[in-house]
Structure 1
Amino acid sequence: MSFAGVSLIRDGRLCPSAPAINDAGAAGGYHLLVVEGYSRTKADAPHGHHVESGPFRVGGYLWFLKYYPNGSSSARPGSTSASLILAQDVEKPVKAQFVMSFIGQSDKQESTYIGLTEVCEFPCKSAGMSYLNFMSRDEFEYSEHLKDDGFTLRCDVLVLDAKVTGAASPFVTVPPPDMQRHFTDLLKDEEGADVTFEVGGETIAAHRCVLAARSRVFKAELFGPMKESTAAGHTIHVEDMEPQVFRAMLEFIYNDSEPEIDHKDDDEDAMWQWQHLLAAADRYDMQRLKLICEDKLCGFIEVNSTAAILSLAEQHCCDGLKKACYAFLGTLGNLRAVAATDGFDDLIRNHPSVMKELIAMLAPF
């Protein structure tokens, strides 16, 4: 495997260092993620939060790593987790295989392999594959991999449909795309903003062309037959939505990245925000954001939340989220526990089709 750069995480933050975007110049390459100050990183990153490597290129594609010190969701608080993420737009899914491993020193090739994935497809930018239970956190902390409150994680990537035409030039380093950062700054600074929303008593400025390019609903609202009512100087009132949810949706519109949900380690609040963000994504026909919310909510499925999550999935036609709920209810003990909760009767009353699907699913019982 060719060397594809190194990223240094110190006390939970990516440190500026030698460019991490070194091109492996081949279909296969490996990247090193060096973490110093593991204890600080673990303390500052609650369940579901992660730190990221710098970008690196293997097989002609840009990638980065996500490391979850306390598990990728609240459902897996006792495990560390790591993910490989595709960092660029692609015309067709990228097929790749990858290995996560620990090594004793960053300058050594030897490593202790944790697992090998089957061939994976990365269909679009920000798509990722994870080791959900990479290693028990207790097991890791007592292992030889953690030394002086630090460790090095190695990710080997083999791209099966690599678009490599030759080795990278040692004299030129092409930086990763930074358009997302510029658009995010545009939203933050409100420079050139030409549309104003009032959401929950707060005023939020944005750019109508950006919104219209990302959402057919915004395009119809801002440039359709009713555009006179949304002309400059008029404020658009958004009903039945909290300001923080609307802002999270705008951030996704501008940077096309997974929204950062600030829940201060409150899982119930995090679930509430992902539920409302899913409803907002459906309302404005933003399918990728909707799928991100579905994926996040799958990690919150448990006895007391299943009825509410299944109701939301039924209301907004979330097939994947529904299947995750039904998989949880497929255990008779889980079904009985959920049926005893306060929200189950409301679920059956408001969505009778769910009962038919449950009966069909439980027919073998």
Structure 2
Amino acid sequence: MSFAGVSLIRDGRLRPSGSAINDTGAASGYHLLVVEGYSCIKHILKGSPIESRSFRVGGYLWSLKYYPNGSPWASPGDVSAALVLAQDVAKPVKAQFRFSFIDQSDKQESIHTRSGGGAFRDKSREYSNTLTSKDALENSKHLKDDGFTLRCDVVVVVEDVVNARGTGAAPPFVTVPPPDMQRHFTDLLAAQEGTDVKFKVGGQTIAAHRCVLAARSRVFKAELFGPMKESTATARAIHIEDTEPRVFKAMLAFIYSDSEPELEKEDGEDAMWQWPQLLIAVDRYNLQRLKLMCESKICGFIGVNTTTTILELAENHHCDGLRKACYNFLGAPGNLRAVAATDGFDDLITSHPSVMKELIAMLAP
């Protein structure tokens, strides 16, 4: 079976690869998903995946999804993985697959396997398997130095195709590359070519493209083109209050790339407080996908000394998933008592009476 590349997930983020997509040139191949920094992602909400880069087997593009807390169809506490067809196809593609944990990627010795298969009809179809329970993974030899390696073997079922003359046809010779529109838009922002709107953010002037912002955010569309438009003159800057330049730039990076942005970190700053600042900004501009990314990141920082602040953030900005994660933490033995003794808990109860009602309901027999 041919090697179809490797994806590295470090601290919950897919790291870029310096190599091109491996083309195995065969109907079977395997891809390795290396996860480092498991402790940073184990609290991701159920149904939230981390996706590999694309790889090619059997002439088709595929990707893997790793669900640290189970796929939407798995039981709570499970660890799941899925194979996804990463391109549009005219006809369903039949494939068999097998997931396995391997102790060392250089040895590539399968230890624990789950198999499946089916007809992949489009990019929205995925086939997932429950690999093991979260507790079992954390107590197994697969998890070493806060990381593990997952292998996926893929076999594409090649069926004979008969052409108009009745002769067998070989698999397609034309390979369509994956979409790269996001890269072009990101390059456009970086080059500052054709910008037609300026923002004044914390003393810095940041330029962008009106049409891109309007296409991605209904709030920007209303501000830039609707009755409440901020400015019709390209030379006049729109002032943005209560937002740091680095936060606004991170939001723009997402708007142009649709990918999780890099957040600039100041010396001595706790990484936990970067994501709440971004969440507040994106909530203002109704960027729901990025808002959910922020919620997922903040879930990893829930603890005794942070729950009060995070729960208030969730209440103020209607973050249902983040709110549930906080109550899940408070429901663990001893956590509510410890959080109640921290500064700010009484203020939270006073400003958000619904929190007290939720806690009473949670503690009721």
Give yes or no for TM over 0.5. yes
8 Å Cα contact 2:103/2:141 also seen in 1 = no
After TM superposition, the score normalised by the length of structure 1 is 0.69
Q: Which has the larger radius of gyration?
A: 2
Instruction: Return closer, same or farther for 1:30/1:136 CA change in 2, 3 Å cut-off.
Output: farther
8 Å Cα contact 1:97/1:158 also seen in 2 = yes
Instruction: Return closer, same or farther for 1:262/1:130 CA change in 2, 3 Å cut-off.
Output: farther
Partner in structure 1 of residue 177 of structure 2: 175
Partner in structure 2 of residue 78 of structure 1: none
Partner in structure 2 of residue 213 of structure 1: 215
8 Å Cα contact 1:208/1:222 also seen in 2 = yes
User: Which runs of 5 or more residues in structure 2 are unaligned?
Assistant: 42-49, 70-78, 89-95, 162-168
- Describe the SS at the equivalent of 2:152: strand
CA RMSD of aligned residues (A): 4.8
8 Å Cα contact 2:82/2:129 also seen in 1 = yes
- Describe the SS at the equivalent of 2:186: helix
1:207-356 matched pairs, under 5 angstroms: 207-227=209-229, 229-263=231-265, 269-356=270-357
Shift of 1:231: 2.7
Instruction: Return closer, same or farther for 1:106/1:180 CA change in 2, 3 Å cut-off.
Output: same
Partner in structure 1 of residue 75 of structure 2: none
User: Which runs of 5 or more residues in structure 1 are unaligned?
Assistant: 36-40, 73-80, 91-95
Shift of 1:199: 1.0
- Describe the SS at the equivalent of 2:346: helix
Instruction: Return closer, same or farther for 1:321/1:60 CA change in 2, 3 Å cut-off.
Output: farther
Instruction: Return closer, same or farther for 1:168/1:361 CA change in 2, 3 Å cut-off.
Output: farther
The 2-side partners of 1:352 and 1:181 are apart by 46
After TM superposition, the score normalised by the length of structure 2 is 0.69
The 2-side partners of 1:21 and 1:84 are apart by 21
8 Å Cα contact 1:7/1:20 also seen in 2 = no
1:150-165 matched pairs, under 5 angstroms: 153-156=150-153
- Describe the SS at the equivalent of 1:335: helix
The 1-side partners of 2:198 and 2:160 are apart by 48
Shift of 1:247: 0.9
Partner in structure 2 of residue 93 of structure 1: none
Instruction: Return closer, same or farther for 1:24/1:183 CA change in 2, 3 Å cut-off.
Output: farther
Partner in structure 2 of residue 189 of structure 1: 191
Shift of 1:194: 0.6
- Describe the SS at the equivalent of 2:175: coil
The 2-side partners of 1:129 and 1:347 are apart by 41
The 2-side partners of 1:134 and 1:363 are apart by 31
Instruction: Return closer, same or farther for 1:191/1:240 CA change in 2, 3 Å cut-off.
Output: same
8 Å Cα contact 2:65/2:82 also seen in 1 = yes
Instruction: Return closer, same or farther for 1:6/1:297 CA change in 2, 3 Å cut-off.
Output: same
- The alignment status of 1:359 with 2:360, answered yes or no, reads yes
The 2-side partners of 1:165 and 1:57 are apart by 20
Instruction: Return closer, same or farther for 1:320/1:265 CA change in 2, 3 Å cut-off.
Output: farther
Shift of 1:349: 1.9
After superposition, the C-alpha distances for 1:96-123 in whole angstroms (9 at most, x for unaligned) are: 9872422777797x62226679x9xx99
The 1-side partners of 2:59 and 2:348 are apart by 48
8 Å Cα contact 2:51/2:65 also seen in 1 = yes
8 Å Cα contact 2:192/2:207 also seen in 1 = yes
Shift of 1:195: 0.6
8 Å Cα contact 2:65/2:84 also seen in 1 = no
Shift of 1:219: 0.2
Count of paired positions: 320
The 2-side partners of 1:130 and 1:274 are apart by 30
8 Å Cα contact 1:21/1:176 also seen in 2 = no
